[in-house]
Amino acid sequence: MAVRKGLGRGLDAMISETASKPKNTVKKESVSVKKKETESDDKKSVFTVKMTQIEPNRQQPRKQFDEDSLLELAESIKQFGVLQPLLVQKKDDYYEIIAGERRWRASKLAGIKEVPVIVKDFTDQEAVEISLIENIQRENLNPIEEAMAYKRLMEEFHLKQDTIAERVSKSRTAVTNSMRLLKLDERVQQMLIDEMLSTGHARALLAIEDKNAQHAAAVKVFDEKLSVRETEKLVKELLNPVSKKEEKTEDSAQDLIYQKLEEKIKGIIGSKVAIHRKNKDKGRIEIEYYSQEELERIVELLESIR
C-alpha cells in the first residue's frame, strides 16, 4: 500500500508490526477465500474475497463519501479492476474493512463480485489508527470526522495529544485546534461538514459561547459570504458591542471637530466649505462658488498655495 513519506509511522509500518501476530483461521464453510499471490516486500498474502463476505467497519472515522467521486472510481474499476487490495481483518463469518472502504463501495457500484484483500489481525486501537491515517493521507475526512477520530483515540484508548500528533504527522497545535471544533454548536458543525463554512470561519466563531448566537453568526457569514477576517471582525463586534449612547456621543464629538475645520478652511478660501465624511480616514471637501469670477479667484488661490 502506497504511503506518503513522513506521515507518522505510516500504514506499512503499522501493518508490518502485526505480521508476527497469528491470523484467525477461516473455519466456516460459508466463507470461501481464494489465494491469489504472495508477492510483496514483507510477503503479505493477497487474497480475492467475495464482496458479500466483506463489511465496512462501523467505527471507521469517515462517515460521508462523495457520490461523484465514487462513480468516477467505479468507472475506473470497471476498466482496470481494483488495483490496490483492501486491508481487512477476520470477524466470525465475514471480513471487516480496516482500510479501503471507498474502493469497496466503488466496487459495489461497478458490479464487481470479488476484490483483492490483505488479511491481518489488529487491535481496536490499531484499526482506528490505520483508518484515521489512511483517510488523512488522502485528505478524505471532513474537519468534524477528523476531530471525532482524535477524540476517540484520546477517550477510548487514552492516547495523549502528543502521541496522536506523532502518529498522524501533524503538530500538537493542529490536533488541539481540530478537537476544539467539537465545541461548536451542532448546527454550525453541520455547516462545516456541508462546506458552508471553512475551518478558519469555524475557529473564529468558537469565541461566541452562546450556541444560538453562534449559529446566527454562522448563517450571517454564509449568507453574506464573509471572509475569515470579516468573520473575526463580526465576532469582535458581537462580543464587544458599542452602545447607542456611546455611538451618539462619539458622533457628536466628531461633528464638532469637522465644523471647526470647515470654518477654518472657509476663512482661508473665503467661500462656503462642506466636509463630507465616508469613514474615519476618508471623505471629500466641497467648495461652493457663485460666479465665474469667484471660481477663478479660488483657482488662483489654490495655485498660489502650490
Active site residues: 101
Task: Calculate the alpha carbon distances from 159 to 125, 148, 162 in Å.
Answer: 10, 14, 8
Q: DSSP string spanning 231-282? A: HHHHHHHHHSPPPHHHHHHHHHHHHHHHHHHHHHHHHHHSS-EEEEESSSS-
* Identity of residue 228: V
- CA pair distance 104, 190, nearest whole angstrom: 26
Residues contacting 184, CB < 8 A, separation 6+:
192, 202, 205, 206, 214
User: Is residue 12 within a helix (H) or strand (E), and if so which, with residue range?
Assistant: helix 10-17
Residues contacting 276, CB < 8 A, separation 6+:
283, 284, 285, 286
**CA proximity to 84, closest of 60, 102, 66:** 102
User: What distance lies between CA 25 and its chain's CA centroid?
Assistant: 41
- CA pair distance 171, 269, nearest whole angstrom: 64
Residues contacting 252, CB < 8 A, separation 6+:
none
**CA proximity to 129, closest of 210, 275, 9, 286:** 9
Sign of the alpha-carbon dihedral angle for 114, 115, 118, 122: negative
